[in-house]
Amino acid sequence: MLQGRSDNGRIVDGKLRGLSPNFIHRSEQKYELTAAETAVLEGEIRGCLPVYEFNPGYPYTHITTVYYDTPELRLYERASRSYDDNLK
């Protein structure tokens, strides 16, 4: 399992302060799945949740995220040590 975490807030006087009144805590967990595991997971999710269509008539939406870093993971290490809204 690959795992990442992002807290979109700052610590001020020992208390977590959001950047806006709509501050939420966000975390991510990423898993590498085989095609067979993906099919099973999709079936389980479809049995519990309705299909959300971002573009009506098109049940699949592809979202692409590209992460850039050094081979030593310097950006990841920096992001995990301190808050920077532009560094994920």
- In this prediction, residues 32-55 reach a mean pLDDT of 89
pLDDT value at position 44?
Answer: 93
More confident: 55 or 36: 36
DSSP character string of 25-79: -EEEEE----HHHHHHHHHHHHHHSPPP-SBTTB------------TT-HHHHHH
**How confident is the model over 7-29, as pLDDT tens digits?**
445 555 666 555 555 555 667 78
pLDDT value at position 24?
Answer: 59
* 4 pLDDT tier (thresholds 50, 70, 90): very low
pLDDT value at position 23?
Answer: 55
Q: What residues have CB less than 8 Å from 58, skipping those under 6 apart?
A: none
CA distance 25 to 5: 10
Please answer whether residues 19 and 85 qualify as being in contact, where contact means their C-beta atoms are separated by less than 8 angstroms. Answer: yes
